[in-house]
């Protein structure tokens, strides 16, 4: 449910004197990614696509930086780490474009606006790593699917879709995920960008379907600050942006406690379920710049895997 607001804050997400003067999603994405790489990933192969595989004994000619010094300390022998540097990693961006994603407490920043920019940055990051990236747009059906490619021209195709995207119909997250899991043949990286407004157990079951197929799964759970805090005080008309529930005019204080308790249970269920299924769950508040949010996630991911 959402309340229509008139106040706008068009510069809240744009870095002063740089992003505020730049038009075009591609330029914004490239600038954010360049900052991420310089700050987090000295090598383009230290982002999503490098996974530790195994050790083997050191032989002359191996790079010293790959020696595992912890193993040396225990065994007094030199071993190097082997990695799966799969430059043909296939990344699938699954972006929720349902009606509920059209909500935003500070226009023009809706959850869909935020999601498209996050998807653009991730596209840029994956292509800059020489990996393949594809895009799936969905609401209660698959609206558009662009198969993974790694060419610069492919980026333009994806960005064009993102820039023209509008919120659509009702959400059927679990149905879409189950269907898509059966379509993908090769093991890859699934990145979900959604508010996940569906039955949480059904959502978790569908995400586990990807894990069953040996995909790595990352979930960016996108929520608006008003959804997280329910700050409404006066008599308010609430509208369901997906058209399932009729509009309700009510005093917010009568709903607030029950709403926040339900939301907390919803978020806790998703977090716990993802953790138990080895799925990366990361909650994103649209009040935070999408570049900073992604930086926080990548830093957390790097620390966890180091």
pLDDT per position in the chain (306 positions), as tens? 443 333 333 334 334 333 333 335 665 666 666 666 555 433 333 455 544 445 667 666 666 777 778 777 877 777 776 554 444 688 999 999 999 999 999 988 999 999 999 999 999 888 877 788 999 999 999 999 999 998 888 988 999 899 889 998 888 899 999 999 999 988 889 999 999 999 999 999 999 999 999 999 999 999 999 999 999 887 766 776 666 677 777 777 878 899 899 999 999 999 999 999 999 999 999 999 998 898 888 888 877 766
Crossing angle between the packed helical segments 111-128 and 25-40, to the nearest 10 degrees: 60
CA distance 132 to 237: 45
The CATH architecture one would assign to domain 19-47+87-305 is: 3-Layer(aba) Sandwich (3.40)
Burial class of residue 267 (count of CB atoms within 10 Å of its CB; 0-12, 13-18, 19+): middle
* CA neighbor of 232 nearest in space, from 7, 13, 4, 12: 4
In this prediction, residue 88 carries a pLDDT of: 63
Tell me how crowded residue 164 is: count the other CB atoms within 10 A of its CB: 8
For the entire predicted model, the pTM comes to 0.75
In this prediction, residue 9 carries a pLDDT of: 35
CA distance 8 to 106: 6
Asked if 94 contacts 191 with a C-beta cutoff of 8 angstroms, the reply is yes
What token pair was written down for 164? 């023209």
In this prediction, residue 269 carries a pLDDT of: 98
Q: Dump the DSSP string for 193-206.
A: EE---S-HHHHHHH
In this prediction, residue 35 carries a pLDDT of: 63
DSSP state of 161: H
CA distance 230 to 244: 20
In this prediction, residue 242 carries a pLDDT of: 61
Tell me how crowded residue 112 is: count the other CB atoms within 10 A of its CB: 26
Kindly report the length of the chain: 306
Ordered by start, the domain boundaries in the chain are 19-47+87-305, 50-84
Return the bridge partners of 237, or none.
249
In this prediction, residue 194 carries a pLDDT of: 98
In this prediction, residue 43 carries a pLDDT of: 37
In this prediction, residue 86 carries a pLDDT of: 42
Query: What does the CA dihedral 169, 202, 175, 218 come to, rounded to 10 degrees?
Result: 90
Q: What are phi and psi of 220, to 5 degrees?
A: -100, 105
């Amino acid at each position: 449910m959402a309340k229509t607001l008139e106040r706008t804050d068009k510069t809240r997400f744009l870095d002063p004197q740089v992003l505020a003067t730049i038009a075009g999603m591609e330029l914004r994405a490239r600038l954010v990614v360049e900052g991420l790489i310089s700050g987090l990933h000295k090598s383009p192969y230290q982002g999503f696509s490098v996974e530790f595989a195994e050790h083997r004994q050191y032989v002359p000619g191996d790079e010293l930086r790959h020696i595992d010094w912890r193993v040396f300390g225990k065994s007094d022998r030199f071993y190097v780490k082997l990695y799966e540097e799969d430059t043909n990693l296939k990344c699938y961006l699954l972006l929720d474009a349902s009606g509920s994603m059209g909500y935003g407490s500070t226009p023009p920043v809706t959850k869909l606006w935020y999601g498209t920019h996050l998807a653009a940055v991730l596209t840029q990051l994956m292509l800059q790593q020489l990996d393949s990236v594809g895009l799936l747009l969905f609401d209660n059906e698959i609206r558009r699917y662009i198969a993974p490619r790694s060419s610069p021209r492919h980026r333009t195709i994806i960005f064009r879709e993102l820039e023209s995207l509008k919120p659509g119909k009702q959400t059927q997250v679990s149905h879409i995920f189950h269907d898509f899991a059966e379509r993908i043949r090769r093991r890859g990286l699934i990145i979900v960008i959604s508010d996940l407004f569906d039955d949480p157990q059904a959502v978790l079951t569908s995400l586990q379907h990807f894990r069953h197929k040996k995909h790595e799964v990352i979930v960016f759970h996108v929520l608006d600050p008003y959804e997280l805090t329910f700050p409404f005080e006066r008599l308010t008309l609430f509208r369901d942006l997906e058209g399932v529930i009729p509009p309700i005019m009510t005093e917010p204080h009568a709903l607030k406690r029950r709403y926040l308790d339900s939301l907390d249970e919803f978020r806790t269920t998703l977090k716990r379920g993802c953790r138990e299924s080895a799925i990366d769950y990361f909650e994103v508040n649209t009040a935070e710049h999408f570049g900073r949010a992604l930086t926080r996630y990548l830093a957390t991911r790097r620390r966890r895997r180091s």
